[in-house]
Structure 1
C-alpha cells in the first residue's frame, strides 16, 4: 500500500494544475503532450505481462483451454462419415426376403454373403477383397415363376454375354467390422457414378481451410482478435447445426466447406491471441497446450464417440455441443492487449491487462497461505502504470483523437523504412531469388500437407477398427510435438534435422508400401504400427517446417512469404482424397507408394533451399541506423515510466 500511495502522490505532484474532469476537452498543449509521450507499444505490454500481470497463469491457460475445447477438430470426421462400404444391386422385395430366410434345405448354402449374391446378378471386378456392383444382368422374370427359377436364369450370364442395366431398386450395403457403419455413402447412395462425391467433401474441407487462413488473418487485423474469434465461432456453431440437418450431399459438402473456413480462421486467430497474452518465453507452452487439445484430446474424443454412436448426424451433433463453448467465450474472452496498444487505445489495453492481472492474482491467492496473499490493485491504480504520466484519465473520445499520433512499434520501423526506399522486394518486377524461394517453399509445404493429411485419412483403409486407429494416431501426435522441439533445441541449423526426419519417414512409407503391395496381408498390423511412426515423424516435420520456412525470408517479407506459401499448399492438398481412393479402385497399399514418392520430392526440394539458424536476418530495406534512431527515441521517453513500473512490481 505504501508503494501505491507513493506512486499516486508522485503522479499528483507531477500533474498538479492539470484539469480534473475526465470528459472535458483536451487543450492544444495537452494534445501535444500526448503526441510526444512514450507509446504503449508491444515492449511495454510485454513488460506489464512479465512483471505485473504474470506471463503465464490461470487467465492465459484458462482462455487457451476454453478456446481449444470449444473448437473441435472436425477434419477427422470424414474418416468416419465417408467410410465406403461394399455394395450390390438391391433386388425386388420377395427375392431379398428369400435370401434373408434361405436355409440349407432351400439352397446349398446356410449364409449368403453380399459377394455371393452380387456374383449371381452382377458382373464384378477381378478382386476378392471388395464388392462394388453397379449394374445387374438384364433378365426379365417370367410371370408366376419362383425365386429359385428366376435365380437359375442368371447361371453363366457373363459367359453368355447377357447385357447389363443400372440397379433399378437401389443398393444394399455391407460395412466390414473395421468400418464406421453410419456414414453418408449409404444414406445418399454415393457409389458408382456418384462415388466421386464422398472424396469431394474432403476436398471441400481443405479448400475451406485455405479460405479460412486468409479471412481469419484479415478479420483479426482489421476488426480485432476478439471479434474474429467470436464471429467465426458463432458462425461455425450455426453451420454445424445446419450440417446435422443436411437434406442432400451437396448441401452437406457446402456446410463442410464453411465449417472448415470458420475452424481454420478461428484456430489461426486463437494462436495469435495465445502468443499475445504472454511473453516470448512462454508462447511455446501456451501453443503446445492448444495443439495437444486439438491434435490429441479432440481426435481421441471423436474416436470414442464414433465407436458408440453409429449415426453421422448424431456424431456431427456432438461437435455442435462442443462448439457451444463459444457462448462462454462471449463473456470471458478479452481483446488482445497488443492489438489494442498498436492502435493507441490505452484505456482498453489497460482494462484487458487488468482483467488478466486480477484473475491471475485471485487464483494465486486461492492456493496461497494467508500470510503470502497479495492485495489486488484497484483498476485506477493499475491504470496508473499505463500511458502518459500527465494524462491518466484521457476519455475514450480523446483516445480516438490522438490514436493516430501513437507509434506502433515494429510497424513504425517498416513504415519509416518504406518512406526512404522506393519499394520493397515484393514490389520489384523481377526478383529471381525471392520467387525461387517462394516456389520451392510452396512445393515443400504442399508435399508435406498432402502426405500428412493423406496418412491421417488413410486410417479408413487400414484393416483395424477405424476408431482404434484414429485414437492411436491421436496419441502419436504428442511425441511428434516434443520431437520437433527437441531437435531444434539440439541442432542450431534447421535444414539438416529436417532432412533426416523426412528421409526416415520416407523409408517407413516405402517399407509399408512394399509389404502391403506384395503380400496383401489379411490384417494390417505392420501397416498400423508403421503408420503411427510415420504420423509421429510427419507431425514433427510440419511443426519444424513452420519454423524453417518463415526464416527463409527477411523480417519485412516474412508474413507475406509464409502466408502465400501455406495458403497455396492447402490448395494442392485437395488431391489426397483421390489418392486414398486408389486403395479401393486399384490395389490396397498403392497410396503409400505415392506418399513415399511425394516425400522423396521434399528431400529433393530441401537440397535447393538455403539453411537457416533462427537468427534475425537484417532486411535490405531497413538501414540499421534508422532502426537505432527510432528505438533510441522511444526508449529515452519511456525510461522513467519503466523504472516506476519496476519499483512497483
Structure 2
C-alpha cells in the first residue's frame, strides 16, 4: 500500500509550495507569543501605597508619617495606613509626630480611600484600574489561570472541530476569535468582564496554534514536517514573545498595549487565499478531487509534473477501511505497559509546564528592568529550540530529556545559594533554568508521539497536552508564593523538575527505532513491571517451542 507521503513524493521536500506554507503558517503563530505572555504587562503590579485624600485635615508632618513602615525591610506598607481621624486629631492639637506622639502606637486601618500607584514603569494596568491589590490580590493569579483555563478548554474542542470542519476553517475561525475578543477586551468595564473575555481569548489561542500545527504537519513532506514541528512553530512563537516587551516598553497604558498587540492578528486575513486546506483531511472526507487539485497546484508552484492519477482508488478504499476502526481513551490504560507510559506522560507534561510558565510569569519579580528581563527570557528560547532539535537528531531521547530537565532544575534550586546583592548572577541562572525546561518542553512533543502506537498516538499526545494545560493553570499560584518568599517559587519548581528528570529515565527509548503501529508493539517501560512482563513473554515463547 502506497501511503500519502509516497503518493506526493514527486513534489519534493523543499519546493516553493512547501516554503510558502512553512513560513506563512509559522508566521500565523507569532500573535500567540503576544497573547500567551501579555498578562505579565497587562496585569503588572506597580509600587503602591494607601491613598491619603487631600480632604484629610493633616499637617505636612503628619501626612509624611501616615503610612506605617514594614518591620522586615523598612519600606512603606502597601495595604495599611494609620487611622486618619486619629492623625487629624493630633494634627489639630499641634502635636508633632515622633516628639509629642509615638507614631508606632497609633491604630491602623485598611486603604479605605484606595491606593496611589507609581507611574515610573506603567501608566496603567488592570491592577491599577480595578485595584487588584492587598485584599483583592487573589484576582491577579486568577486572571492568568482563567486565561490558561481557556487554553485547556480550547485544547479539548480544537481537535474535534478540526476533524469535523477542516484544518483551514478552524485555523482562521480561531484566529478570528483570538483577535476579535482581544479587541472587545480593550473596552472592558470591569475585572469580571476582562477575565471572561480573557478566557475566550485563551480558547482561540490554543485552537489556532493546534490547527496551524496539524495543518502544516499534514501538508508538508516528511523532512519539512520535522523542522516545522520543532523549529518553525516554536521559534516563531518565541519571536512573538520577544516582540512583546518591545511593544510594552513604548506603550505603558494597558488598553493601548492590548490594542497594539491585537493588530498583527488582522494581518493574517490575506493568508486565507494563500494557505490551502489539508489534502489528507480532504481525502478522509472523501473529497478526492479537491485534494488532487491542491496537489496539482503545489506541483505547478514547484515546477514539477504531476502524474495523471495521484491517488488510486484501491489506496483510498484501504485508507477508508483503516479509518473505520476507532479507539477510545480507555486504550491508554489497556495494558500494564501502556498504562505506566500514560501515567509518566501525565507527570512529565504537568511538571514541565509548571516549570516553563512559572519561570516565564515570574519574570516581573526579577531584579532589574522588567522589559529587558522579559526579552532575555524570550530570547533564550531560540537557542533552546535549536539545541533540542540537534539532540533529537543525534542522541538518546531519555538522556536528552533527563539532561535538559536536570540542568533546568538544578539551576532553579541553586538560586537560593546566590547572595542577594548578585542580581545579575541570579538572572543568568534563571535564564539557564528556563533554557533547560524549554528544551525539554519542545522535545516532549516528539518523544511522546514516538512512544505511543499509531492507533492511539493522537490521544496519547492529547493527554500529555491536557496535562500541560493543567500545569499552566496551576503555575500562576507558584508565582504568587513570591509574596511570601522570593525564593520559594524557584525551590518548588526546581525540586519538581529534578524529580522528573529522574523519572524520565523509566521511559522506554525510541531513538532510531520504528514507530509502533499497534498497542501490542508499544515499547517496554524500564523497571520491575516490564521485567515481569518480559519474563512472562519468555515463558510463553518457551511453551510454544
Same-fold status (TM-score > 0.5):
yes
The alpha carbon displacement at 1:55 in A equals: 7.4
Confirm or deny that 1:595 pairs with 2:493.
yes
Asked whether the equivalents of residues 97 and 103 of structure 2 are also in contact (C-alpha less than 8 Å), the reply is no
Q: Does the 8 A contact of 1:551 with 1:614 survive in 2?
A: no
Deviations 1:402-433 (A, max 9, x none): x9x94363x634646x7xxxx88935986333
Cα deviation per residue 1:523-564 (whole Å; 9 max; x = unaligned)?
A: 621111112222222211111222222333222222212211
Task: Say which of 153, 156, 161 aligns to 1:214.
Answer: 156
SS of residue in 2 equivalent to 1:252? helix
Alpha-carbon distance in structure 1 between the residues aligned to 2:57 and 2:194: 31
- Could you report, residue by residue, the CA deviation over 1:359-392 in whole angstroms, capped at 9, with x for unpaired residues? 455xxxxxxxxxxxx9xx8xxxx69444569xxx
Task: Map 1:445-464 onto structure 2 (within 5 A).
Answer: 445-464=349-368
Cα distance between partner residues in 2 of 1:435 and 1:408: 30
Taking a change above 3 Å as real, the CA distance of residues 308 and 544 of structure 1, as seen in their structure-2 partners, is: same
Which residue in 2 is equivalent to 1:605?
503
Which residue of 45, 57, 62 maps to 1:84?
A: 45
Closer, same or farther in 2 for the Cα pair 1:143/1:513, shift >3 Å? closer
What is residue 28 of structure 2 aligned with on the other side?
Answer: 67
Q: Give the conservation status (yes or no) of the 8 Å contact 1:447–1:598.
A: yes
- Contact 1:95 / 1:147 at 8 angstroms: preserved in 2? no
For the residues of structure 1 that align with 2:352 and 2:214, how far apart are their CA atoms?
23
Q: Deviations over 1:222-253 (max 9, x none)?
A: 11001111111111121011111111112111
Among 389, 392, 401, the residue aligned to 1:498: 401
- SS at 1:615's partner residue? coil
Q: How does 1:392-471 map to 2 (within 5 A)?
A: 406-407=316-317, 409=319, 412-413=321-322, 415=324, 426-427=330-331, 431-471=335-375
Distance between the aligned counterparts of 2:57 and 2:413, measured in 1?
45
Change (3 A) 1:43 1:486: closer
Q: Are the equivalent residues in 1 in contact too, given 2:125–2:253 (CA < 8 A)?
A: yes
CA distance in 2 between counterparts of 1:147 and 1:574 reads: 54
Change (3 A) 1:619 1:273: closer
Work out the CA distance in 1 between the residues paired with 2:332 and 2:177: 39
1:305 shift after superposition = 1.1
**Partner of 2:317: helix, strand, or coil?**
coil
1:165 alignment partner, SS class: strand
The alignment status of 1:47 with 2:2, answered yes or no, reads: no
Change (3 A) 1:56 1:329: closer
**Cα deviation, residue 315, structure 1:** 0.8
Contact 1:89 1:135 in 2 (8 A): yes
Q: Could you say what secondary structure the match of 1:172 adopts?
A: strand
1:126 aligns with 2:88: no
CA distance 1:57–1:186, change in 2 (3 Å): same
Q: CA separation of 1:72/1:551 partners in 2, compared to 1, >3 Å: closer, same or farther?
A: closer
Deviation at 1:48, TM superposition (A): 4.4
* Partner residue in 2 for 1:337: 279
**Structure 1 partner of 2:165:** 223
Deviations 1:87-131 (A, max 9, x none): 2211121569976xxxxxxx69xxxxxxx95x6344645334674
Compare 140-149 and 299-308 and name the one that shifted more: 140-149
Q: Name the SS of the counterpart of 2:380 in structure 1.
A: helix
5 Å matches for 1:507-546?
507-515=410-418, 519-521=419-421, 524-546=423-445
Distance of aligned partners of 1:121 and 1:284 in 2 relative to their CA distance in 1, 3 Å threshold = same
**Structure with more relative contact order (C-alpha pairs < 8 Å, separation 6 or more):** 1
**1:121-168 CA distance string (max 9 Å, x none):** 446453346742245436346589659759679943443xx4433322
**461 and 274 in structure 1: CA distance in 2 versus 1, 3 angstrom threshold:** same
Unaligned runs of 5+ in 1: 1-37, 100-106, 109-115, 362-373, 390-402, 624-649
Q: 2:118 aligns with which of 174, 184, 187?
A: 174
TM-aligned CA distance change 1:600 to 1:592, over 3 Å: same
How many residues are matched? Answer: 520
Name 1:472's counterpart in structure 2.
376
Equivalent positions of 1:242-281 (< 5 A) are: 242-281=184-223
Q: Which runs of 5+ in 2 are unaligned?
A: 522-545
> Quick one: distance in 2 between partners of 1:150 and 1:217?
70
Q: Could you tell which deviates more after superposition, 606-615 or 85-94?
A: 606-615
- Looking at structure 1, the residues matched to 210 and 291 of structure 2 have their Cα atoms a distance apart, in angstroms, of 22
CA contact (8 A) 1:136 1:164 kept: yes
Using structure 2 for the length normalisation, give the TM-score: 0.85
C-alpha distance 143-128 of structure 1, shift in aligned 2 (>3 A): closer
Tell me, in whole angstroms, the C-alpha distance in 2 between the residues paired with 1:43 and 1:458.
44
Asked whether the 8 Å contact 1:236–1:259 carries over to 2, the reply is yes
* d(CA) in 2 for partners of 1:206, 1:444: 18
Q: Does the 8 A contact of 2:58 with 2:91 survive in 1? A: no
Secondary structure of the corresponding residue to residue 109 of structure 2 = strand
Question: 1-side partners of 2:515 and 2:342: how far apart?
Answer: 17
Name the CA shift for 1:602/1:58 in 2 (closer, same or farther; >3 Å): closer
Secondary structure of residue in 1 paired with 2:38: helix
- Alpha-carbon distance between aligned partners in 1 of 2:434 and 2:59, rounded to the nearest angstrom: 47
- The change in CA–CA distance for 1:533 and 1:81 in structure 2 (over 3 A counts) is same
TM-score, normalised via structure 1 length? 0.73
Report SS of the residue matched to 2:210. Answer: helix
> Matches of 2:434 and 2:457 in 1, distance apart?
28
- Structure 2 CA distance for partners of 1:68 and 1:356, relative to 1, 3 Å: farther
Q: Choose from 241, 244, 256 the match for 1:302.
A: 244
Residues in 1 aligned to 2:397 and 2:290: alpha-carbon distance in whole angstroms:
40
Rounded to whole Å, the distance in 2 between the matches of 1:221 and 1:283 is 19
Query: What per-residue deviation string (whole Å, max 9, x for no partner) do you get for residues 10-49 of structure 1?
Result: xxxxxxxxxxxxxxxxxxxxxxxxxxxx99x624553243
